[in-house]
Amino acid sequence: MQQPLYITNSLTRTKELFEPVNPPYVGLYVCGPTVSGESHLGHARPYVTFDVIYRYLQFIGYKVRYVRNITDAGHFEEEGREAEDKVNEKAKLERLEPMELVQKYTNIYHDMMDALNCLRPAIEPTATGHIVEQIDMIQDIIKKGFAYEVNGSVYFDVTKYAQGNDYGKLSGRILEDMIAGSRDLDGQDEKRNAADFALWKKAPEQHIMRWNSPWGEGFPGWHIECSAMASKYLGSPFDIHGGGMDLMFPHHESEIAQTKIATGCSPVKYWMHNNMITINGRKMGKSYNNTITLREMFYGGNDVLERSYAPATVRFFILQTHYRSTLDFSNDALQAAEKGLQRLLNAYDTIAKLNASPASSVSIEKIESDCYVAINDDFNTAIVVAQLFEAARIINSAHAGTEQLSAADITRVKKLFDDFLFQIMGIKQVQQDNSADLNGIMDLVLEIRATAKSKKDFETADKIRNTLTTLGITIKDTKDGAEWSK
RNA sequence: GGUCGCGUGGCCGAGUGGUUAGGCAGAGGUCUGCAAAACCUUGUACAGCAGUUCAAAUCUGCUCGCGACCUCCA
C-alpha cells in the first residue's frame, strides 16, 4: 500500500515522485471560485478532482493543510460596467449590498460542494479578508524593484523579471511572442510593457469595491490574492498548487513571478491542472449559451441536458475520466455513469448477502493492489473504477454461485469498496434504513407474498411487489427466496 | 497568427512498443409464474498516408479534423 505516489507536474510536464517539502505535512492550495455568479458545472471538475487528491493524501497518512480561496474582490475590471449595473440594479430591487451578493453565491457554492460530497478545506480565505497581506506583498515587490506605480495603479515588471527568471515556463510561453501578439486593453498605456500585469488597480469612480492603499483607493490585481494567501498559510515553497488548466496563463504564471520576487523562491513544488469539461463536445460558456449551474444539474431546470442528475452521478462521472483529459457531458454519457454507479452500489449491498466458501476462486488481493497502482499513478481514478467493476462482477458471481469467496476475501472486498469508492473517491454511501421495525415488517410482508406465490396467487404477489416499488422498495426474487432493498 | 493538446468499436472513456481495459447500449443464452437483477457468450476499435522496428493504437514525419490557451474564466 505504501507505494510511491507519482504526480504529473505541469511545470515539468512529467510524472514525478511525490516527496513533500516537510513530511508528513503537505500543503495543498487550490484556486477557488470567483463568487460574482452562481456555481456552474465547470466548478465541479477541479473541486471533485482535488477533493480526491486531498482524501487520498490523508488516506496514506499525510497531514494535509488544504487551502482553497474565495475570490470576492477585484476581478471586476474587465466586466466593469456590466458588473456595476447588475449590482446596482439588484441592490435596488432586492436591497442587496454587494457583499450580500457575494455571500449569497458563496452559500450556494458551499451547498453545491456539500452535495458533491467534497470535504471542506482546512482554510478558506477570502480575498477581501486579506487586503492587508496583498498590499504588504505589493510593497515588498516594489521595494525589490520589480513593480512600479502609475496613476494609482501598480504593475509587475515582467520584462525585468524575465531577465533572471524563466517567465512562461509553466504555460510554455515565450515572452517576445506574447508581447508581439498582445491586444490593446484598458490600462495598456500605463504599462511599461504589454506583458506587465496589474498588482493593484486604481478604482474608477463607479467601482463599489475599493480599499485604501499607499497608492490611493483601489482594489487588488488579478493574481496577487493567491500568492499572498498561499504563502501566508502554506509558506514558500509549498507542495501542491492546483486549479483548472485555463488558469495556467496568466494566473499561475503571474503567481510564480510575484511570489518568487517576494519570497525568493519558486512557490510551488508540484503544479497540478485539471482539464476542462465540455457539453455535447463544446466548451461550456456564455457565448455558446450552454452554461449549466450546479443547481440546475442536480435539481433540474436547464435547457441543455434533458433531465437532472444526482450529485453522486456527476461526481462518479467525473472520476471515470482521468483528471488531465477533457470530459464531455452528454445525456448518454451521464445515464451510462448513473447505471454504472448503481451497479457498483448494488454489488456493495450484495456483499452482506454472500456466503463464505472455504477458499476463493479469484484474487481480491490482485484487484486491491491494482487499485493502489492506479491511484498512485497520478490519481488514475478511471482505472480504479474499472477495477471496482471487476470486483463487482466477482461479488455478483459469488452471489450467483459461479465464483467463490472466502470469509477473509469477503471482508477484504468490502474494505476495498469502503476505502476506494467511499473514502477516497468520496461517493456518498447511501444510508440504509435497516431499523429493526422495518426489517420485521418486511420479513412479514415477504412471507405473505411467498405464501401467495406458493398458492399461485400471483395477483396478490404482484400487488405487494408493485406497491412496494412505488414506496421505493425493490423486490427481487432469487432462487433462495425474495430479497428487498430500499 | 503564436503556443499546447487531442482524434480509440453505436456512445462515454483507459491504455502508450508485443498480453482482455472498463462502463453504457446492442445480440444470443441461463435463471424465472411474470418482472427486475445477476451470471455466461458475443464487438473487422485505435483519423488518414508514409516510415522506424522482428513487432505500433502506442515511436517519427506529413496530411486532415477537433479543441484549449493567448482576454475574466474551473
CA A472 to C1' B54, whole Å: 61
In SS3 terms, A336-347 reads as HHHHHHHHHHHH
Q: List the A447 CA – B35 C1' distance (angstroms).
A: 19
The lowest-confidence range among A111-120, A209-218, A429-438 is A429-438
Q: Using one digit for the tens of pLDDT, what is the confidence trace for A16-40? A: 999 999 999 999 999 999 888 889 9
What pLDDT digit, counting tens, does each position of A121-162 carry?
999 999 999 999 999 999 999 999 999 999 999 999 998 998
Q: Measure the CA–CA gap between A275 and A245, rounded to whole angstroms.
A: 6
Based on the fold, state whether residues A262 and A366 are members of the same structural domain.
no
Total structural domains in chain A?
Answer: 3
Name residues 296-315 of chain A with a Cβ under 7 Å from nucleic strand B.
none
Q: Which nucleotide is nearest to A168 (CA to C1')?
A: B3
State the pLDDT confidence band at A179, using cuts at 50, 70 and 90: low
Same domain, A232 and A363: no
pLDDT band for A185, please (50, 70, 90 cuts): very low
pLDDT value of residue A76: 45
Helices A253-263 and A131-143 meet at what angle, rounded to 10?
A: 70
When pLDDT is cut at 50, 70 and 90, the band that residue A310 belongs to is very high
**Is A15 inside any structural domain?**
no
Q: Is the CB of A252 under 7 A from strand B?
A: no
Confidence of residue A78 (pLDDT cuts 50, 70, 90): very low
Residue at a domain's end among A245, A274, A303? A274
Q: Taking 80 as the threshold, does the pLDDT of residue A319 lie above it? A: yes
Backbone angles phi, psi at A329, to 5 degrees: -90, 130
Measured between alpha carbons, how far is A215 from A192 in angstroms, rounded to an integer? Answer: 18
Domain annotation covers residue A69: yes
Per-residue pLDDT reduced to its tens digit, A453-466: 989 999 999 999 98
Q: List protein-proximal bases of chain B (any atom < 7 A from a CB).
A: 1-5, 10-15, 21-25, 31-40, 66-74
pLDDT confidence of residue A384:
96
| A232 CB-to-strand B distance under 7 Å | no
Q: Are residues A71 and A193 in the same domain?
A: yes
Instruction: Give mean pLDDT, residues A407-427.
Output: 97
How many Cβ atoms from other residues are within 10 Å of residue A211's Cβ? Answer: 17
Q: Are residues A455 and A371 in the same domain?
A: no
pLDDT at position A85: 46
pLDDT at position A77: 36
Number of other residues whose CB lies within 10 A of the CB of residue A194: 16
Are residue A469 and residue A378 in the same domain, yes or no?
no
Of A122-131, A226-235, A263-272, A285-294, the least confident: A285-294
- Give me the CA A432–C1' B54 separation in Å, rounded: 58
A151-160, A196-205, A470-479: which has the highest mean pLDDT?
A151-160
Note whether A125 and A254 are same-domain residues.
yes
- For the cut 90, the answer to whether the pLDDT of residue A194 exceeds it is no
A103 lies in the same domain as A235: yes
Whether the per-residue pLDDT at A345 is higher than 90: the answer is yes
Mean pLDDT of A300-310: 86
pLDDT band at A432 (very low <50, low <70, confident <90, very high): low
Let me know if residue A8 belongs to a domain: no
Range of the domain at A470: 436-485
Cα–Cα distances (Å) from A176 to A169, A173, A257, A382, in that order, read 13, 9, 17, 40
Residues 148-187 of A with CB under 7 A from strand B: 171-174, 177-178, 181-183, 185
A456 and A331 in a single domain? The answer is no
Whether the CB of A421 is less than 7 Å away from nucleic strand B comes out as no
Mean pLDDT of A168-174: 81
Q: Say which range, A74-88, A163-177, A338-352, A451-465, has the weakest mean pLDDT.
A: A74-88
C-alpha cell at A387: 477495477
Do A215 and A231 lie in one domain? The reply is yes
Same domain, A127 and A27: yes
Please give the mean pLDDT across all residues of chain A. Answer: 88
Q: What is the pLDDT of residues A382-393, one digit of tens each?
A: 999 999 999 999
Give the nucleotide with minimal C1' distance to the Cα of A43.
B74
pLDDT over 70 at A433, yes or no: no
Q: Is the ipTM above a cut-off of 0.90?
A: yes
Task: Name which of A103-107, A301-305, A334-338, A395-399 the model is least confident about.
Answer: A301-305
Give the nucleotide with minimal C1' distance to the Cα of A182: B70
Q: To which H or E segment does residue A80 belong?
A: helix A80-94
Q: Could you tell me which residues are beta bridge partners of residue A271?
A: A241
Nucleotide with smallest C1' distance to residue A332 CA = B11
In this structure, is residue A16 part of a structural domain? no
Residue A282: nearest nucleotide (C-alpha to C1'): B67
Mean pLDDT of A421-448: 86
Q: Looking at residue A269, which CATH number applies to its domain?
A: 3.40.50.620
Domain assignment present for A430? no
Which window residues (45-104, chain A) lie with Cβ within 7 Å of strand B? 45-46, 71, 75, 78-79
Domain end call among A274, A296, A313: A274
Q: Is residue A214 part of a domain?
A: yes
Cα→Cα distances A29→A51, A215, A364, Å: 11, 29, 36
The verdict on A94 and A224 lying in the same domain is yes
Burial A4-32 (b: 16+ CB within 10 A, else e): ebbbbbbbeeeeeebebbeeeebbbbbbb
Q: How far is the CA of A50 from the C1' of B68 (A)?
A: 21
A175 and A66, same domain (yes or no): yes
Note the CA–C1' distance, A477 to B31, in angstroms: 10
Contacts of A446 (CB under 8 A, 6+ apart): A475, A481, A482, A484
Distance CA A77, CA A424 (A): 40
Of A402, A424, A446, the residue at which a domain comes to its end is A424
Residue A380 grid cell: 488514475
For residues A109, A112, A114, A116, the Cα torsion angle rounded to the nearest 10 degrees is -130
